């Protein structure tokens, strides 16, 4: 446990809050159906920036497992997407200060990585449909002759471009606004 990101109770609380934020914002946005915005990885991104890649991955994975148990078991296989988001963001934040510019670049990277992983899962589990607003685009692309992967991938990447960049920017602004004495040393503004 010497190299564990969860050496302190505060770090465990931060990771737990990340899970709660993911589930609460993800559920809220799913209910109100704002197009191309999900906000279901903000907690993962925040924890990955503050505590590192493995804490972010654990936060992301547990989010989907808990969400799957509470509401929809089909969310559980997508844990791999949230785990990868935590790892990618965490490794980037470990190497670079997570400022506005890095947040945008990170958002762009995970905007492509997340749908590349999530699309095959969605195609396998539900034939590509998600039950969300992007299903209209999916159905139109499928009806216009595109292959199922392409029809499922294009709306996902469009949504992720907006969602993941917005989520990363929100986390960067939050990190900047939080007093540095409240953030573990790894993610302080001087690091």
Residue 187's pLDDT band (cuts 50, 70, 90):
very low
Could you give the CA distance from residue 155 to residue 24 in angstroms, rounded to a whole number?
23
Report d(CA 32, CA 26) in Å as an integer: 10
Q: Where are the domains of the chain?
A: 9-183
Structure confidence by residue, pLDDT tens digits, 139-164: 889 889 999 999 899 988 988 999 99
> For residues 189 and 113, which has the higher predicted lDDT (pLDDT)?
113
Considering only residues 181 and 174, tell me which one the structure prediction assigns the higher pLDDT: 174
Which pTM does this prediction carry? 0.90
* Residue 30: per-residue pLDDT: 83
Q: Which pLDDT does position 32 carry in this prediction? A: 87
Helix axes 79-95, 53-70, angle to 10 degrees: 160
Distance, in Å, from the CA atom of 134 to the CA atom of 70, rounded to the nearest integer, reads 24
11-15, 30-34, 70-74: segment of lowest average pLDDT: 30-34
Q: How far apart are CA 40 and CA 63, in angstroms?
A: 9
Q: Which residues contact 63 (CB under 8 A, 6 or more apart)?
A: 18, 19, 22, 23, 26, 40, 43, 44, 79, 82
CATH fold, domain 9-183, is Arp2/3 complex 21 kDa subunit ARPC3 (1.10.1760)
Between 185 and 70, name the one with better pLDDT. Answer: 70
Closest listed residue to residue 54, CA positions, set 96, 6, 13:
6
């Amino acid at each position: 446990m010497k190299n564990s990101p969860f050496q302190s109770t505060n770090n465990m609380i931060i990771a737990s809050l990340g899970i709660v934020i993911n589930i609460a914002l993800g559920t809220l946005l799913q209910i109100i159906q704002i197009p191309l915005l999900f906000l279901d990885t903000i907690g993962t991104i925040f924890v990955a920036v503050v505590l590192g890649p493995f804490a972010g991955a654990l936060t992301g994975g547990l989010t989907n497992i808990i969400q799957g148990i509470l509401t929809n078991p089909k969310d559980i296989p997508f844990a791999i997407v949230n785990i990868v988001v935590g790892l990618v963001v965490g490794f980037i934040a470990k190497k670079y200060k997570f400022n506005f510019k890095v947040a945008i670049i990170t958002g762009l990277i995970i905007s492509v990585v997340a749908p590349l992983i999530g699309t095959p899962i969605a195609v396998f589990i539900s034939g590509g449909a998600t039950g969300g607003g992007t299903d209209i685009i999916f159905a139109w692309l499928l009806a216009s002759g595109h292959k199922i992967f392409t029809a499922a991938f294009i709306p996902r990447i469009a949504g992720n471009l907006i969602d993941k960049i917005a989520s990363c920017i929100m986390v960067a602004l939050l990190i900047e606004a939080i007093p540095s004495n409240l953030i573990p040393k790894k993610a302080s503004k001087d690091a």
